[in-house]
Amino acid sequence: MQTNPFDHDGFREECGVFGIWRHEDAASHTALGLHALQHRGQEAAGIVAFDGRRFNTHRALGHVADAFETEQVMSQLKGYAAVGHVRYATFGDTVLRNVQPLYADLSFGGFAIGHNGNLTNARSLRQRLVKSGCIFQSTSDTEVIVHLVAISAYSTVLDRLIDALRQIEGAYSLVALTEHGMIGMRDPLGVRPLSLGRLHDGTWILTSETVALDIIGAEFVRDIAPGEIIIINDEGIESIHPFPPARRRFCVFEHIYFARPDSMVEGLSVYDVRKRIGAELAREMPVPADVVVPVPDSGVPAAIGYAAEAGIPFELGIIRNHYVGRTFIEPTQHIRNLGVKLKHNANRLIMEGRRVVLVDDSIVRGTTSIKIVQMVREAGATEVHMRIASPPTTNPCFYGVDTPERGQLLAANMDLEAMRKHIGVDSLAFVSMNGLYRAVGERNGRNDEFPQYCDACFTGNYPIPISDQQSGWESAQLSLLAESA
């Protein structure tokens, strides 16, 4: 598959999971749910359905619409229950054997599982399992969970799962399907999201984000709690908490970038949080200007908040072309240099002769920021000030998000003034950690002793051990990250 030379140089989305129990059109509803979660993973998609006798599977590379667009494909996915997954591989190639949900015939019957997150001790577990005779069919860390369930000495599926989860480290939201029910799980710190929803006919849904409930007309019931396992079957719904209580550390970048703005995440409107981040930026780092312009699309809510707080007009000074997908064009350096203009175009009438505040969600490598700023200057802006709706990204994520190595992170290698000069702006400012925390509802800002969120990409404070890294397996772990969700 040809890679896209015009991709944004920022964070890559994670993955998305969806599950539904007891609906005559389970696979169709799952495909719709995955459409709503497409922003979380655009490399591959899969659905496993169960019809009471057999599991029916279809997995494919590409977008959901491509994978499930034909009546022939959907007609094969018969069943009253289904789980689905959209995937983004963080490094390396995406191959069909790694597309989720993974499925295996185990001693107790069929078992399908979809995973959003990353296991930080997957390498050591994998080595142990291979030595014991397990044969891996993929390079996904999710398959480690499948093998741990398969070899567990416990008798019930639930006890086998708990046994497996006690051995893994990392961040995860999991949705599993067996012949007897659907199971949803979150890691004890609740780093990755998972929500419970319900249709009026009593059908239960598990999903990464509430937008997947909206698209099928389901109501949001609640978020699955950190460390909670929820079991859904024809007898109803059961919740258990098999892990010791822990301080929750939900990924704060879900609020900044990953989640869709029309989602509710951990009880908060993502859209409102992003506007509040923009307002915090305007209060913390104001600058005289004539117009506030978002870098589309992720910078829009923060720019609205900034403009409202600063009393400066908000305008769409940069227009995004939504139809730049994968390309047959050979990605030469010349074409790469043109890429930003194919994806974004300056609205000259908005910016010519004006002092512009550009608002974006983050700066990672900075390559796209340089090109955007150059484009705005070429459109006639007299001053360009950049405001970023997150603190400086100084550390990679090991919990299921694609971030470059630390040496490629601009903020890890330059101070603020050096970054400003490198990007070519008249001023550069990031929201403070306390400002970010105030925006997500923590009135007193960040509690440095007991942080309320996972913010390791900004602070280097990793709340879950990164065992494979600490054991000196960095190159191997990066290989696993390539295939994890």
Domains 16-249 and 268-462 agree in fold: no
Confidence of residue 13 (pLDDT cuts 50, 70, 90): low
Q: Is 120 a residue whose pLDDT tops 60?
A: yes
Confidence of residue 64 (pLDDT cuts 50, 70, 90): very high
| Structural fold of domain 268-462 | Rossmann fold (3.40.50)
Model pTM? 0.91
Which candidate, 365, 464, 475, 375, places its Cα nearest to that of 425?
375
Which candidate, 37, 150, 22, places its Cα nearest to that of 81?
22
Helix (H) or strand (E) holding 367: helix 367-378
Give the chain's mean pLDDT. 91
Confidence of residue 10 (pLDDT cuts 50, 70, 90): low
Domains of the chain, by residue range, sit at 16-249, 268-462
Confidence of residue 401 (pLDDT cuts 50, 70, 90): confident
Q: Among all residues, which ones are annotated catalytic?
A: 15
- Largest CA-CA distance found in the chain, in angstroms, rounded: 72
For 213-244, letters b (16+ CB in 10 Å) and e give bbebebebeebbebbbbbbbbeeebeeeebbe
Give the amino acid at 273.
V
Task: Supply the pLDDT for residue 9.
Answer: 59
List pLDDT tens digits, range 268-288. Answer: 999 999 999 999 999 999 999
Question: What token pair was written down for 38?
Answer: 């497409």
Higher confidence at residue 238 or residue 69?
238
In whole angstroms, give the CA distance from residue 184 to residue 383: 51
Question: What token pair was written down for 302?
Answer: 């923060």
In whole angstroms, give the CA distance from residue 446 to residue 259: 21
In the chain, the percentage of residues whose pLDDT exceeds 70 is: 89
List pLDDT tens digits, range 190-233. Answer: 999 999 999 999 999 999 999 999 999 999 999 999 999 999 99
Q: What is the mean pLDDT of residues 332-343?
A: 62
Q: Is 78 a residue whose pLDDT tops 60?
A: yes
Give the amino acid at 172.
Y
Around Cβ 96, how many Cβ atoms within 10 Å? Answer: 11
Confidence of residue 472 (pLDDT cuts 50, 70, 90): low
The CATH code of the domain at 16-249 is 3.60.20.10
Which candidate, 161, 129, 158, 126, places its Cα nearest to that of 140?
126
Which candidate, 254, 291, 296, 259, places its Cα nearest to that of 390?
254
Could you tell me if 387 and 357 are in contact, meaning their C-beta atoms sit under 8 angstroms apart? yes
Question: What token pair was written down for 342?
Answer: 């194919």
Question: What token pair was written down for 175?
Answer: 């949705």
Q: What is the mean pLDDT of residues 131-149?
A: 96
Q: Is 476 a residue whose pLDDT tops 70?
A: no
Confidence of residue 400 (pLDDT cuts 50, 70, 90): confident
List pLDDT tens digits, range 291-337. Answer: 999 999 889 999 999 999 999 999 999 998 877 654 444 455 555 55
Residue 436 CA: distances (Å) to CA of 73, 159, 312: 45, 40, 21
Could you tell me if 350 and 293 are in contact, meaning their C-beta atoms sit under 8 angstroms apart? yes
Helices (H), 77-167: 122-131, 142-151, 157-167
Task: Supply the pLDDT for residue 89.
Answer: 59
Helix (H) or strand (E) holding 231: strand 229-233
Chain center to CA of 50: 27
Confidence of residue 11 (pLDDT cuts 50, 70, 90): low
Which of 140-144, 308-312, 378-382, 397-401 is predicted least confidently? 397-401
Task: Supply the pLDDT for residue 339.
Answer: 60
Task: Supply the pLDDT for residue 133.
Answer: 96
Could you tell me if 289 and 318 are in contact, meaning their C-beta atoms sit under 8 angstroms apart? no
Could you tell me if 16 and 83 are in contact, meaning their C-beta atoms sit under 8 angstroms apart? no
Sign of the dihedral defined by the CA atoms of residues 219, 221, 226, 228, in that order: negative
Task: Supply the pLDDT for residue 340.
Answer: 63
In the chain, the percentage of residues whose pLDDT exceeds 90 is: 84
Q: Is 91 a residue whose pLDDT tops 50?
A: no
Question: What token pair was written down for 3?
Answer: 């890679």
Could you tell me if 482 and 139 are in contact, meaning their C-beta atoms sit under 8 angstroms apart? yes
List pLDDT tens digits, range 163-178. Answer: 999 999 999 999 999 9
Which candidate, 331, 320, 285, places its Cα nearest to that of 306?
285
DSSP state, residue 124 = H
